[in-house]
Amino acid sequence: MEMSEVLRRRRAELGLSQADLAEAAGVDKRQIRRYEAGEQQPLLSVAVAIANALKISVGELAGIPSHRIDLSGEWWASWQTFKDGEQVITLQEVQFRQQGDLIEVQTVTRGISVEDGGYHWRGELRLWDNEVLMGWYAAMDGSVRSKGTMYFVLHPHGQRLSGRWVGLSHDGKVVSGWGGMAKDAEGATGVIQDLERQGGLA
């Protein structure tokens, strides 16, 4: 794919106008117009600024395929948690926003009631070799102290993740549990059921 086409498509994906991109990259709007029309090619320093503004690599801007899986979109997360010593399996809708190897994650739903320990959280995952995701999470509800780490293995078809979380609970203890994510609620629940069948859940 030509650089001009990559530039147009990526700018549209991010919802940026030519003026927005020009401002973010520190170039004149007329230059962006020329690059998108294929009339000119940017100098390397300008290409780096444009790629950074578009949140892609210079290679991707130049049309070199990245072979990176794109996990952006709606997902469902299922978690093994504990309340008063009893296991609770929760299910939450989450949003993935991927930029390169970094994925921002944020809950859409609580999953369970606030009284039972449900809370909104956000975090980041970094994708390694299209296979492993590692990152952190932190509660977004002011009264909740929960924060910690996540480790997931991506299924070869990119439709589900299975792994574990370790974090600080509401009462200050370090706790851990299994987790699964999938493109739909049934799939996320299935990941947890698979872990349970394999003896993964305590």
What's the average pLDDT block by block, 10 residues per block, for the chain (202 residues)? 90 92 95 94 94 88 78 93 81 92 93 80 93 94 86 89 88 86 93 81 45
The pLDDT of residue 171 is 67
Which CATH architecture does the domain made up of 3-61 adopt?
Orthogonal Bundle (1.10)
**Torsion sign, CA atoms 105, 107, 112, 115:** positive
Which single residue is written with the structure tokens 């020329």? 34
Burial class from Cβ neighbours inside 10 Å (0-12, 13-18, 19+) for residue 91 reads: middle
SS3 82: strand
The pLDDT of residue 33 is 95
Q: DSSP secondary-structure letter at 137? A: E
Which among 90, 120, 117, 122 has a CA at the least distance from the CA of 106?
122
Give residue limits of the domains in the chain. 3-61, 73-197
Query: What share of the chain has pLDDT > 90, as a percent?
Result: 59
pTM of the model: 0.67
Q: What is the CATH number of domain 73-197?
A: 2.40.128.120
